Amino acid sequence: MKRASIKHLCAGMALAISSCLWAQTAATQPAAASSAQPWWKGAVLYEIYPRSFQDSNDDGIGDLNGITRRLDYLKTLGVDAIWLSPIYPSPQVDFGYDISNYEAIDPQYGTLKDFDHLVAEAKKRNIRIIMDLVLNHTSDKHPWFIESRSSKTNPKRDWYVWRDGKGAGQPPNDWQSDFGHSAWQFDPKTNQYYYHKFYIQQPDLNWNNPAVRKAMYDVERFWINRGVAGFRLDAITTLFEDPQWRDDVAVKDENGKTKINEYGDTQLDDAMTNNLPEVHDVLRQLRQVADSYKGRDVVLIGETYLNSINDLKKMYGANDDELQLPMDMQIGFINKLDVSLFRKRIDEVQNDVNGDEPMIVFDNHDNPRWDRYGDGTHNQDIGRVIATILFATRGTALFYYGDEIGMVTTPPTRKEDVKDPVGLTGWPKNKGRDGERTPMQWDDGPNAGFTAANVTPWLPIPPSYKTVNVKNQVMDFDSMLNWYKQLIEFRRSTPALRDGKNVMLNTSDNNVLSWLRVAPGQPAVVIACNFTAQPQKVSFDLSSQGITGKQAKTLMKTPGSSDPSSLDNVQLPPFGVYMGQVQ
């Protein structure tokens, strides 16, 4: 595929959206990975926040039929699987992460029939569905909790974490909720406290109870039987609490002063309630269930915010018998373009997890979008740098709806508009997560094509939709959308990019992050990303890799930049990217 000729073609037919690069390449898209590998290796995964993707019944809330309607778009983008954040019945205090029935669909999103239809239509396009499995807690409206709180002798009492207080009005210990204030809620009916790592309406399950485990493994089977290809395991590191109920410890700043967090609480480490070793038993059991479906390659992805590569490594399991894809949050959330930190952490996940598959994450429904890396002047170029790191390093790539068009974080400006309770507790320091959950921007028409013109969407459409939308970007060869699409395509069709080893280059350069992808018997690919606002020149000596050639065929480069004359002289504009196949 030659860029120049396609650009020319597009210019002549500006309005024929379905033609040009966008449609042409979809038809030639090869399968995601060679058949010897599980489907998720090197795959491209796309997170959908269903409330915000596409409304099909004009109630201002996205739904399953809306997602089905957009499957062709996802196919053309090159997505192998979509992860749906929770669509189960829920009081929606935490927008679905408070589940009141694990084996049904919330009527806001549709029905089980709609779900089956989505799975079937996605399958026709070779797209798999990944469910979000919330194991740490249920909703306080789940029948299990209603029973549990009804009396101390109820058979479900021990399904949750109940304790006596230390004294009148005093919770059992100092543990805090991730969403602010004490993690203990007093329940006057039985004079005990229950534990909630998240909202008060999200009581934690007691994973020491075998009946809880069995119930949840049955949920896992229910959805695999219904055709899902895997699960994203929510808050998986927080299933267990210290069996001795010891206090957490206050975090001090560099002057030894206790820190206060954005909710106004003393900041504690959460060593007593996070990443306890017992989690690994559960991961092995979940994996056994997944693996019992022979030939299905059911994948387990973990929401694993961890502090070290060692902890991340453990999540794969000592015998590769836990998560296939624990998310690496160490790279994507560095939150500043620091070449040496990126190099170090990419190297770690490439080399220090026993050769297992990395999964780098930059964006999701809980964090400000990619534009947190922006400098306000070169944001588009910085967005390209991030996408390049995501797709051109070895691993399974996961990105968040809207990233591909460069949708930006748009937080509420007034407290009364906030929907996410975190934003109400934390206002104004923490405005909550609404800013990264705004509706998908499909076109520049009313409500950005997300819902009908006369409907008020559940979150406002960001003003950027007039220019930042799918319809505009399909037609623009140099758009973020086409950058994503080309990266995904090259990754599929170029063996070194798909499976090759990752070798860092020019490791003392602190302005440009460069690396090589090498696979036996295949042309290597060199990638360079300028992390600075100044032009940079780089040169590559690949002789230590046994490569003597100095010429490369350009695969991708920042729009407007020129092809390098040789690998001795690669010029990068500010935050520029170059990717070339070594000849």
Could you list the active site residues? 234, 303
160 vs 198 by CB, closer to ligand GLC:
198
Question: Alpha-carbon distance 382 to 505, whole Å?
Answer: 20
Q: Which is nearer to ligand GLC, 88 or 97 (CB)?
A: 97
Neighbours of 239 (CB within 10 A): 28
Cα separation, 236 vs 133, whole angstroms? 9
Structure tokens at 69: 């309607």
**How far apart are CB 568 and ligand GLC at their closest, in Å?**
46
Q: Which is nearer to ligand GLC, 235 or 474 (CB)?
A: 235
Residue 51 and residue 63: Cα distance in Å, rounded? Answer: 6
- CB 406, min distance to ligand GLC, A: 23
Q: Tell me which residues in 288-327 interact with ligand GLC (CB under 6 A).
A: 303
Residue 114 or 234 having the CB closest to ligand GLC? 234
CB atoms within 10 A of CB 462: 19
Considering CB under 6 A, how many residues would be counted as binding ligand GLC? 9
- Is there binding between residue 102 and ligand GLC (CB under 6 A)? no
Which residues inside 231-270 make contact with ligand GLC, applying CB under 6 A?
234-235
Dihedral angle over CA of 568, 571, 577, 579, nearest 10: -30
**C-alpha span between 171 and 163 (Å, rounded):** 9
| 198 part of the interface to ligand GLC, by CB under 6 A | yes
| Residue with Cβ nearer ligand GLC (366 or 478) | 366
Q: Does 97 bind ligand GLC (CB under 6 A)?
A: yes
Output the smallest distance, CB 432 to ligand GLC, in A: 10
* Closest approach of ligand GLC to the CB of residue 238, in Å: 9
By beta-carbon proximity to ligand GLC, the closer residue of 97 and 540 is 97
Phi, psi of 147 (to 5 degrees): -65, -45
Buried b (16+ CB within 10 A) or exposed e, 296-317: bbbbbbbbbbbeebeebbbbbb
Residues 119 to 178: which contact ligand GLC by CB under 6 A?
134
Q: Find the shortest distance in angstroms from Cβ 303 to ligand GLC.
A: 6
- DSSP states of 15-81 as a string? T-TTSHHHHHHHHTPPPSS-TTS-TTTT-EEEEE-GGGT--SSSSSS--HHHHHHTHHHHHHHT-SE
Question: Could you say whether residue 436 binds ligand GLC (CB under 6 A)?
Answer: no
Site string for ligand GLC, 336-375 (x = CB under 6 A): -----------------------------xx---------
Exposed e or buried b for every residue in 168-184, given b needs 16+ CB within 10 A?
eeebbbbbbbbbbebbb
Encoding tokens for residue 182? 């004490």
- Please name the amino acid found at residue 246: R
Query: What are the residues whose beta carbons fall under 8 Å from the beta carbon of 377, sequence distance 6 or more?
Result: 533
Helix (H) or strand (E) holding 351: helix 339-351
Q: Which residues contact 6 (CB under 8 A, 6 or more apart)?
A: 20, 21, 24, 477
**94 in contact with ligand GLC (CB under 6 A):** yes
Choose between 183 and 235: whose C-beta lies nearer to ligand GLC.
235
Residue 390 dihedral angles phi and psi, to the nearest 5°: -60, -50
Q: Which of positions 56-75 make contact with ligand GLC (CB under 6 A)?
A: none
Least separation in angstroms between CB 134 and ligand GLC: 6
Least distance in angstroms from the C-beta of 95 to ligand GLC? 7
Nearest residue (beta carbon) to ligand GLC: 97
Residues contributing to the site for ligand GLC (CB under 6 A): 94, 97, 134, 198, 234-235, 303, 365-366
